[in-house]
Structures are given as structure tokens and as C-alpha cells.
Structure 1
Amino acid sequence: MRATRTGRPEARLAGAVCLLALGALLAGCTGGGAAQPETAATAPATTPTPAPTRDPFPSEPLTATTRYIAIGDSYAAGMGGGEEQGACRLSANGYPAQFARRSGVDLVVNAACAGATTTDLLAHQLLALDDRTDLVTLSVGGNDLGVAAIATDCAARRAEACRNEVTGALSLLNVLPDRLDDVYAAVAKAAPNARIVVTGYALMWDAADPSAPDFQTSAAMNAATIGLNEVIRQAVDKQRAAGVAMTYVEPDFAGHAINDPVPWLHHSGPYAFHPTARGYAEYTKRLLKLLGTAS
């Protein structure tokens, strides 16, 4: 195992985002003094505009023969969508199956598994990919931060334990960028002809009254989710800048969070903090907007 690097810029940025989500007042971020107006003597010299480069994530039509493979964790498996099967908790209401039905592509296999970490994915799921794979969707990273313990404590309303688990998760954001780099590079190598779509995690709570009993817990969980998604997005951007056909998609559960009248997330039980079938339909909607349907 290679040594872990810490203090990455991605992780530091994610931590700052988390603090913002918790309502921290960050003073002095802009440095000293107001900006001075430019003059002829101080205006920077103009530089040539670089020539546009080809987007590594091509816009290609889907067809009934598009070979699609899903990999990742419980969100990719569809846990919480209903009628889960097997130890990996695969559901026909998860977004891979919903997207395949609505888009018309060929879902060859959903190799995702509940509880999978980046290490598990590298060890067990890459075998599903090959040079014939046209499309990959991928959700991973949450279990590296210990989300199972977070779900257990937060769903049970053990506020102090919940916040402690979230704090521990935030500290692990420092090591996640390297792990995601390894996963994304390995997926691109195993499926060299595929477009790869990485999905983020749903924000659990809508903004709530600070005086509400669950406010500290919900703010902490939102902060962890925002930080996790930011680390994932930046890791994807890094791969895309290097020419990998990869992009990031994040669901929008606004108006349907746990504390809303019609939530798209489970709040308790074995599927706590996982999307419902309707929540996975939101993921499907995002994928359809990005990729379209088969011609």
C-alpha cells in the first residue's frame, strides 16, 4: 500500500465548504485592503486566448446496443428503492435500472454492492468492465468516510454520537482524493472506450430553523455531504482535464429532503439516509438530461 498524502488542496477546499455549510463566519478571506482601479501603468498585459480543446466527454447518441455497466456502493445498487435482492441490496428501482429502462440502453450488469468502499470496488468490481463497455455510472466514496456509523447514530437521534461520527468523516476527506484518483484511473483503464458518469450524494436536509431539535445534526450531515461531493467533483475534474471521458452529476432533492413533507430519502430503519424509488428517479432524470435516450 502506498503512503497516503494529506493536506491536498481539494481536501482543504472541501473543509472550507463544510464550514460554510455550518454557518461559520470566515473573516479575512480576501486579504488586506480594497482592490485598486487599474491604470494604464498597472493594467495587466493581454495574453492570447488559448485555442479550444476537444471535450473529452463526447456527446454521442445512445442506442439499444449501448453496453452500460453500473458500479459502486449502495447508492449505485439502489438500496432503499424497494424490493432489494441479495447481499448487495440491488433494486430494480435504483437509478441504473431506471435509467436503462427509460433510456433504452443495454444494462449488461449492475456490479455495485452496498457497503462498497474504494478498495472494494478496485478489488471486486473492475472485472465487470472491458473495452466493449460504452457507458459506466459510478457512485463511491461515502463508505470510506464511515457513513454506516453516521446513519446508525443519526437515525437513532443520538446527537452527540452523530456529530462525532460526522466530525470523523470530515477528517477523512483529506485521504479521499488519492483514493478517488486511483479508482477513476483504474475504471478508465478497464473501460478505455467508455464514457464514465460519476454521481454525487443527495443533500439530506433542507435549511431548517436553527432552534429546531435536529438542527445541529442536520447541519453537520449536510456539511459532510457537501464536502464529500466537492472532493468527488474535483477528482472528476482532474481526470477530465487529463483527457478522460468522465463527468460528474449531482442530484437535486430540494423540497424533498428528510424534513420536507414529501421526502425522497429514508429517515429511519435499515435504509436510513438512502433514497426512495422516487429519489432514484431524480438521479435517472439527471442522467437522461446528460445522455438522452436511445435513438
Structure 2
Amino acid sequence: MRPEASRNPRAPRVPRAFRAAALLASAAVLALLTACSASPGSAEPPRGAATAAPTPTAAPDPFPKEPLTASTRYVAVGDSFAAGMGGGDEQGKCRLSPAAYPPVFARKAGIDLVVNAACAGATTSDLLKHQLIALDDRTDLVTVSIGGNDLGVAAIAGDCAAGKAAACRNEVTAALSLLNVLPDRLDTVYSAIAQAAPNARIVVTGYTLLYDSSDPNAPDFGTAAALNAATLGLNEVIRQAVDEQRADGKPMEYLPVDFAGHAIGDRRPWLNTTGPDVFHPTAAGYAEYASRLIQLLGKAQ
């Protein structure tokens, strides 16, 4: 049995709302100072004045740009978006589909998909309990999609798809209130994946926006806007959690995926719009995820 991932002690986490406010304030001050220094009436610095210190060299990217090879060992973990629910021909309780992005990406990239350990309905806790066993020190590449089920997206999908607008918006609001507990859960999961696969690059995939909500006169505009807002919030929490791992030197990358022109409300959506797989990508949607991975990682050389 693999020992549980240990976590290094850290300074207390600064609430993200405070951090965001501080960043905005810093940006405003920087903009003000820049505007003032560039004004026509600015005095030139006196002769002999000290020049500005050179800009520090940026830290090296912890995510190495290594080419894939035919022997690259790839493992996928995560939830229904990694399992391929909605892609067709799903098998077993985990709803694994041959159209899921892990097998499609592996085939197109020419690498070895050792296993797709993802499972529909998986939470961060489920991943820690049941999926880490698929990883080891021989794993070269990991993709992970996780976090949505921690917010109760199954209930949201059911009521929103059924047209229960009030219940849908209330559940989205409740989900947004849970975002504050997600950073620590993601931190635990990402650290555990990095420990279980110490030689692997890790790609964290985001969740695509569900709706084309560009038309404010659409009958379901309120629902679409609420769901898109929840997805944006979830993706931002995921992105920040990945950034923290990268700051610690973990070879991790966040990969956003956009179905622009193919969301619900567009002529040819890449998302299921009815039935038990509602709000999950179709085979075409998962193919887009695979294409984005190839754009990031390339193909086997």
C-alpha cells in the first residue's frame, strides 16, 4: 500500500479574496505611478543619480518542455470529464468512454496510455482514496480533471437541465460558497499526485464554459450566466492552486479549454444538452480537449 502523501509545513494561507484585493490595489498603484512618471512635466533625474536596479531574472519554468516519445507512460486520473461521460459507449460504473480525451490524446500523440483511472462522480477525496494507486515512479505524464463534484455539480446539472431556474440558481450560489474550501483540497490532491508520480509532468485540465450566453434576451440567459459564472470561479480556483504548486517547483501546468462557437446555444454544441449526460462533452468536445493537449505537449518523436 502506498503511504499517504506528506505535506511540508507552510505559513498560514492568505485568504484568496484578500490576495486578489491586494493584487488589484497593487496594480492600481503601479498604474498610477507609471502614469505619473510618464507625464510630460516630469523632471529628469539629476545627473549622477543611481540607475534602477536590473530586473531580476525570471525563475525557470518548472514544467519542462520535453518531447513525448512512443515509450512515454501516461496515466489519467479525475472525474467524469476525464472518464469521458457523454462521449458514447461508456462502460462500467465509472462511465469510461473510448472517446474520452485521455485515449484520444494518447492515440493521436503516439504515447502509451497505461490506464485511465478516472471515474464519473469522483471528488478530490475519491481520487486520493482510489486513483493514486495507478501512479508510480515510472509514470512520465499525468492528466487530471477534478474539483467539480466537490461543489455538487450533479444536483446542479439535474435542476438546471430540467428548467428549474430558481433551484438552479440557488444551487449555483451554494456551489460558489463552497469554493473557499476547494483550494486546500486541490493543494492536497496535487501534492499527492506529485509525490505518487515523482518523475511525471502533470497537466490539470479546466472545465469548459457550458453556455454561449452572449444574447441577454435568450430565455435561459439567467441560468446560462449563473452556470458560466460558477465555471469561471471553479477554473480560477484550479488555476491558482496550480500556480501555487508551480511556485513550489512542481512540474505542473493548467490547461484551459474553450468550446467557443460550440457551447450550448450555438448551432453545433460540443456538449450534451439533454439526458443523464447533460453538460458533459460529446465525442467532439473530448476531441477538442485532446487537441489542446497536443498543442501543449506535441506528439511522440
After TM superposition, give the deviation of residue 224 of structure 1 in Å. Answer: 0.3
Residues 226-241 of structure 1 correspond to what in structure 2 (within 5 A)?
226-241=232-247
Pair 1:92-2:98 in alignment: yes
Indicate conservation of the 8 Å contact 1:11/1:173, yes or no: no
CA distance in 2, matches of 1:73, 1:119: 11
Matched with 1:292 is 298
SS for the counterpart of 2:290 is: helix
2:6 maps to what in 1? none
For residue 237 of structure 2, what is the amino acid of its counterpart? V
Asked if the contact 1:200–1:251 (Cα under 8 Å) also holds between the matched residues in 2, the reply is yes
- The code of the aligned residue for 1:122 comes to L
What is the Cα deviation at residue 206 of structure 1? 1.3
Decide whether the 8 Å contact of 1:10 with 1:177 is kept in 2. Answer: no
SS for the counterpart of 1:289 is: helix
Distance 1:105 1:156, change over 3 A: same
Compute the TM-score of the two structures, normalised by the length of structure 2: 0.86
Whether 1:161 aligns to 2:167 is yes
What letter is aligned with 1:269? G
Superposed, which structure 2 residues align to 1:61-210 within 5 Å?
61-210=67-216
Figure out how many residues of one structure are paired with residues of the other and give that number: 277
Q: Which has the larger radius of gyration?
A: 2
Separation of aligned partners in 2, 1:129 and 1:11: 36
- Give the CA deviation at 1:207: 2.8
SS at match of 1:69: strand
**CA–CA separation in structure 2 for the residues paired with 1:147 and 1:246:** 25
Aligned equivalent of 1:22? none
Unmatched tracts of structure 1, length 5 or more:
16-28
TM-score (norm 1): 0.88
Contact 1:198/1:246 (8 A) holds in 2: yes
* C-alpha separation in 2, matches of 1:134 and 1:69: 8
Q: 2 CA distance for matches of 1:206 and 1:47? A: 47
Deviation at 1:6, TM superposition (A): 8.8
Structure with bigger RCO (C-alpha 8 Å, 6+ apart): 1
Note the alpha carbon deviations across 1:249-272, whole angstroms, 9 max, x for none.
111100000100000001110001
Query: Which residue number in structure 2 is paired with residue 21 of structure 1?
Result: none
The 8 Å contact of residues 173 and 231 in structure 1, kept in 2 or not, is answered as yes
Q: Which runs of 5+ in 2 are unaligned?
A: 1-11, 22-26
CA distance, structure 1, for counterparts of residue 210 and residue 18 of structure 2: 21
Q: Find the residue that maps to 1:193 and give its secondary structure.
A: coil
In 2, Cα distance between equivalents of 1:254 and 1:223: 16
User: In the alignment, does 2:20 pair up with 1:9?
Assistant: no
Alignment equivalent of 1:274, drawn from 267, 273, 280: 280
Q: CA deviation at 1:48?
A: 2.6
What amino acid sits opposite 1:202 in the alignment? T
Which amino acid counterpart does residue 265 of structure 1 have in structure 2? L
For the residues of structure 2 that align with 1:131 and 1:118, how far apart are their CA atoms? 21
Q: Quote the residue 2:254 is aligned against.
A: 248
The equivalent of 2:36 in structure 1 is 37
